[in-house]
């Protein structure tokens, strides 16, 4: 079938929405057009990061009483306020904090917290209640929510080789890209190309076969778009030599090259510190802090920091009291870190966690994590949060 | 009903994991009724998973010192892997396809995670033993399985300190479904399950001292109910039959529920006291089961995809880790459902990356990552072809899997046309895209590898 006939037929048969993206006229993407194109970068710290040893509440004696062997000692803490300071392994973030590019929201969580890693991560990724099971992720539902720029899978990119639940909607899904060149290569298998080019309109019905073909064609065109666009930008900034820093380096490259992506997702694991916490968490925090600092500076230098917002979260914090193996066990509320060039509330957003009033040894949450999501959706991604979170959240005021 | 090869293929695609040419030869002339009877006959044999020899106590592990802990963890991972692979093999060898297909259904219906492989094996065998038996027996045994008691916190469900987790999921996910019970029903029934527990040997025990013997009001009845009573009352509600039938319909027939067909199923299920065999016989012999719109329209779950490929081509893996990697990349690791609601399934399986993996896996396993391309080669593709050929040996070494090509090729009756072969490999009708592949390929091996690398192959 000729391309023109194909276009006409599919338009008639199943509506303009199903025209494969790669057949649409490519708009010229001049760098100038991209100013004001806002990006959200989500960093997932997997395993349950101990927030109390990350943003240390050194001003509270209870912290030292409950953590006899693993508390961070006062001289080592990088003090931010009279009450809280950074773990020394986050020293790279001090400069970012001082520039006003960092905000810390304390005591974020949800009612009836679950201490299982996978269940709590599920709750964070889907934005559900503790007793509710959703099959779509909150970013996926953002893609579903009819936002005008969400028609292509590359609207949300996860820098990984598989796609997290957070990125899966009912109709739309993001795309996982560990390495754009590799993905591009994989989609250029001659047999695959033949399938993409030879399918006919019948393959693009609303049924499951149509869905498979549509996904295949979108992958093909997205892989091309991501590779061709991102290779135009040459990263000159210096990043640490870690896998996590490489992920952020890729994200910066995508942003700086002007990729029309709204949401990026990266993750770093290794935070489940039941034993010998100080060294293990210290290493992970250093990897995290050094990479984020390099990333923020890279974006600043490319004049993209004002258009970028970063949110770092973990599925839960740890218990306030340490355990007998110099570690901490699964807890509940935790802090969230926000980075960006245009923060409304810079520095520490709310009170340090209340260590005196605990719920069975755990921090009580004061901010629902969905109020953080609601803020990002309403004020950054410009979509009414109730369309994504299934009910309306008031949101916060950090941006 | 007039049966045809098409019906037999469809039956095997749904009630099992696809059909091999050797099986097709034996059953292609049977009536649907005879073929269904044959599937039940084959599944009478129950071969339990029996790979975990002993119960490693997780409590002992928590008390152990660092060195011992590490050993425990390693042993635990080994056991999880062994269990996973053993089940994949059981499904792939196809001795009891219907029983295994139903075990997979219950594995998802009663979704559960446990770090104790002994408990996981026990629960898996409960689901296998009762896979096509009686739902009430199955439900009772699952409710008393240590894996489930632990997973849904019934160990913490005690008189004066009820934990509602199990009671809530029992109603929401295992029996009558949302909208058919109240929050008060959850609270009251949780009290009925107080004291349901298990011992160190991994056996169920009811601890009378922890059981709340006070009166409870559940679904309008009041009495000193225990767990069995609650389950009985849930089963007297026809909503339970309907809830299970809806799920089975989506699993076996179509993701879009059809009220009429589901009502008919629920009648059969309910009037047969929750016996599964008459229900499944009813489904597999119903005219609507063989309607065109119900053929080749379900997206294979990753495990169905892997098992179907393994058995169709008689694949053996030297390194079982490869199979686990496939499960992980495609988003379904056995014994690791995302939560108690199980894998959502359907289109949820498919995103850009998982689809790319699905399209690549057959050629990776069958031909060192190369899809021999029979079309006219674009000059710009020559470099790609040269590279993949060069890497072929390296890929083969890495994957360490062998298909038994002789066995596969010999099982195809002499004179079988390429279109017939395609109809056996694929569940969908033959589109122009597939005809294109059929016309261009000159040898059967290339043909079947190309067919297994299409979007059509993702459907059953």
B107-166 pLDDT tens trace: 999 999 998 999 999 999 999 999 999 999 999 999 999 999 999 999 999 999 899 999
Residue B59: the pLDDT is: 67
The answer, for B338 touching chain A at a CB cutoff of 8 Å, is yes
Contact A393, A385 (CB under 8 A): yes
Give the helix ranges, DSSP H, for B177-258.
183-192, 227-236, 238-252
Element (H, E) at B207: none
Contact B410, B440 (CB under 8 A): no
Q: Which residues contact B161 (CB under 8 A, 6 or more apart)?
A: none
Contact B428 A173 (CB under 8 A): no
Q: Map tokens 């598989």 to a residue.
A: A162
- Chain A nearest-CA residue for B293: A207
Residue B410: the pLDDT is: 96
pLDDT (average), residues B19-43: 95
Chain B, 103 to 162: residues with Cβ < 8 Å from chain A are 113
Contact B451, B426 (CB under 8 A): yes
Nearest to A119 among B66, B298, B339 (CB): B339
Q: Which of A191, A300, A286 is nearest to A256 (CA)?
A: A300
pLDDT (average), residues A315-343: 95
B385-401 pLDDT tens trace: 888 888 888 888 888 99
Residue B31: the pLDDT is: 94
Round to whole Å and give the CA distance between A315 and A128.
13
The answer, for B390 touching chain A at a CB cutoff of 8 Å, is no
Contact B385 A190 (CB under 8 A): yes
Q: Which residues of A touch B346 (CB under 8 A)?
A: 208
Q: Which residues of B touch A128 (CB under 8 A)?
A: none
Contact A207 B340 (CB under 8 A): no
pLDDT at A16 exceeding the cut of 50 = no
Instruction: Count CA atoms within 13 Å of residue B71 on its CB side.
Output: 8
Q: Which residues of A touch B373 (CB under 8 A)?
A: 190-191, 194
The answer, for B66 touching chain A at a CB cutoff of 8 Å, is yes
Share of chain B above pLDDT 70, in %: 98
Q: Map tokens 């067909």 to a residue.
A: B261
Contact B115, B60 (CB under 8 A): no
Share of chain A above pLDDT 70, in %: 89
Q: Which residues contact B136 (CB under 8 A, 6 or more apart)?
A: B231, B235, B273, B274
- Chain B nearest-CA residue for A217: B352
Residue A203: the pLDDT is: 63
The answer, for B450 touching chain A at a CB cutoff of 8 Å, is yes
Residue B429's φ and ψ, nearest 5 degrees, are -75, 160
Q: Determine if the pTM surpasses 0.80.
A: yes
Which of B333, B339, B380, B389 is the mutation pick for testing A, counting most A CBs within 10 A? B339
B23-32 pLDDT tens trace: 999 999 999 9
pLDDT at B320 exceeding the cut of 80 = yes
Q: Which of B274, B273, B248, B272 is nearest to B261 (CA)?
A: B248
pLDDT (average), residues B193-203: 94
pLDDT at A14 exceeding the cut of 50 = no
pLDDT at B370 exceeding the cut of 90 = no
Domains of chain A plus CATH, in order, are: 41-178+231-389 (3.40.720.10)
Nearest to A212 among B340, B341, B455 (CB): B455
A48-98 pLDDT tens trace: 999 999 999 999 999 999 999 999 999 999 999 999 999 999 999 999 999
3-state secondary structure of A45: strand
Contact B375 A190 (CB under 8 A): yes
DSSP for residue B378: P
| Residue boundaries of the structural domains of chain B | 5-42+237-294, 46-132, 302-458
Partner residues linked to B17 by β-bridges: none
Q: Give the orientation angle of helix B238-252 with respect to helix B97-109, to 10 degrees.
A: 120
Q: Which residues of B touch A134 (CB under 8 A)?
A: none
Beta strands A334-340 and A308-314: pairing type?
antiparallel
The answer, for B395 touching chain A at a CB cutoff of 8 Å, is no
3-state secondary structure of A239: coil
ipTM of the complex: 0.94
């Amino acid at each position: 079938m000729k391309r023109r006939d194909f276009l006409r037929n599919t338009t008639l048969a199943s509506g303009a929405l199903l025209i494969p993206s790669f057949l649409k006229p490519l708009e010229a993407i001049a760098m100038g057009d991209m100013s004001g194109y806002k990006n959200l970068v989500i960093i997932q710290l997997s395993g349950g990061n101990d927030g109390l040893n990350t943003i240390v509440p050194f001003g509270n004696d209870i912290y030292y009483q409950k953590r006899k062997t693993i508390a961070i000692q006062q001289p080592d803490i990088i003090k931010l306020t009279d009450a809280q300071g950074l773990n020394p392994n986050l020293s790279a973030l001090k400069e970012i904090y001082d520039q006003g590019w960092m905000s810390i929201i304390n005591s974020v969580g949800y009612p009836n917290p679950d201490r299982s890693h996978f269940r709590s991560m599920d709750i964070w990724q889907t934005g559900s209640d503790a007793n509710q099971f959703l099959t779509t992720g909150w970013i996926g539902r953002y893609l579903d929510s009819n936002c005008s720029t969400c028609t292509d899978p590359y609207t949300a990119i996860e820098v990984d080789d598989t796609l997290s639940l957070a990125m899966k909607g009912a109709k739309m899904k993001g795309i996982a890209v560990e390495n754009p060149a590799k993905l591009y290569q994989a989609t250029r298998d001659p047999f695959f190309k033949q399938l993409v080019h030879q399918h006919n309109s019948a393959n693009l019905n609303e049924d499951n076969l149509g869905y498979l073909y549509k996904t295949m064609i979108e992958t093909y065109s997205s892989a091309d778009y991501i590779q061709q666009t991102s290779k135009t930008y040459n990263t000159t900034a210096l990043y640490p030599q870690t896998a996590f820093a490489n992920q952020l380096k890729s994200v910066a490259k995508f942003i700086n090259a002007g990729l029309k992506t709204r949401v990026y997702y990266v993750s770093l694991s290794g935070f489940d510190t039941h034993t010998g916490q100080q060294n293990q968490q210290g290493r992970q925090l250093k990897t995290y802090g050094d990479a984020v600092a390099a990333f923020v500076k890279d974006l600043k230098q490319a004049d993209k920091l004002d258009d970028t917002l970063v949110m770092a979260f973990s599925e839960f914090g740890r218990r306030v009291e340490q355990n007998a193996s110099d570690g901490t066990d699964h807890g509940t509320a935790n802090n969230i870190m926000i980075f960006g060039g245009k923060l409304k509330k810079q520095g520490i957003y709310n009170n340090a966690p209340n260590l005196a009033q605990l719920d069975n040894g755990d921090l009580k949450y004061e901010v629902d994590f969905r109020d953080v999501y609601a803020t990002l959706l309403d004020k950054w991604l410009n979509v009414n949060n109730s369309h994504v979170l299934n009910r309306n959240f008031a949101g916060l005021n950090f941006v | 009903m007039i049966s045809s090869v098409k019906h037999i293929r469809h039956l095997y695609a749904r009630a099992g994991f696809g059909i091999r040419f050797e099986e097709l030869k034996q059953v292609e002339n049977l009536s649907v009724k005879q073929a269904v009877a044959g599937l039940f006959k084959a599944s009478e044999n129950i071969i339990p998973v029996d790979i975990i020899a002993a119960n490693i106590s997780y409590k002992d592990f928590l008390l152990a010192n660092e060195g011992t802990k590490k050993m425990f963890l390693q042993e635990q991972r080994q056991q999880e892997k062994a269990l996973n692979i053993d089940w994949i093999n059981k499904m792939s060898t196809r001795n009891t396809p219907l029983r295994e297909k139903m075990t997979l259904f219950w594995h998802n219906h009663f979704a559960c995670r446990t770090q104790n492989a002994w408990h996981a094996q026990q629960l898996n065998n409960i689901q296998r033993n009762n896979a096509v038996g009686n739902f009430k027996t199955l439900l009772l045994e699952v409710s008393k399985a240590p894996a489930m008691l632990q997973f849904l916190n019934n160990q913490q469900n005690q008189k004066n300190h009820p934990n509602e987790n199990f009671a809530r999921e029992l109603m929401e996910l295992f029996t009558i479904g949302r909208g058919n019970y109240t929050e008060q029903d959850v609270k009251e029934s949780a009290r009925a399950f107080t004291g349901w527990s298990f011992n160190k040997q991994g056996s169920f025990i009811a601890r009378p001292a922890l059981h709340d013997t006070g009166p409870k009001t559940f679904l309008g009845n009041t009495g000193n109910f225990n767990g069995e009573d609650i389950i009985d009352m849930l089963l007297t509600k026809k909503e339970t039959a309907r809830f299970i039938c809806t799920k089975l319909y989506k699993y076996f027939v179509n993701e879009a529920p059809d009220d009429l067909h589901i009502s008919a199923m629920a009648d059969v299920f309910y009037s047969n006291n929750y016996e599964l065999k008459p229900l499944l016989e009813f489904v597999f012999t119903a005219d609507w089961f063989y309607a065109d719109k119900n053929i080749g329209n379900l997206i294979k779950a990753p495990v169905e995809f892997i098992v179907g490929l393994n058995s169709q081509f008689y694949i053996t893996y030297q390194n079982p880790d490869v199979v686990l990697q496939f499960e992980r990349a495609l988003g379904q690791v056995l014994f690791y459902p995302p939560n108690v609601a199980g894998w959502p399934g359907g289109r949820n399986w498919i995103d850009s990356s998982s689809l790319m993996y699905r399209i690549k896996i057959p050629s990776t396993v069958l031909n060192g990552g190369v899809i021999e391309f029979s079309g006219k080669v674009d000059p710009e593709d020559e470099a790609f072809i040269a590279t993949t050929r060069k890497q072929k040996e390296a890929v083969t070494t890495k994957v360490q899997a062998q298909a038994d090509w002789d066995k596969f090729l010999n099982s195809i009756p002499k004179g079988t046309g390429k279109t017939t072969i395609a109809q056996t490999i694929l569940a969908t009708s033959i589109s122009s895209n597939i005809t294109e592949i059929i016309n261009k390929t000159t040898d059967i091996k290339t043909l079947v590898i190309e067919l297994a690398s299409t979007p059509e192959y993702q459907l059953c």
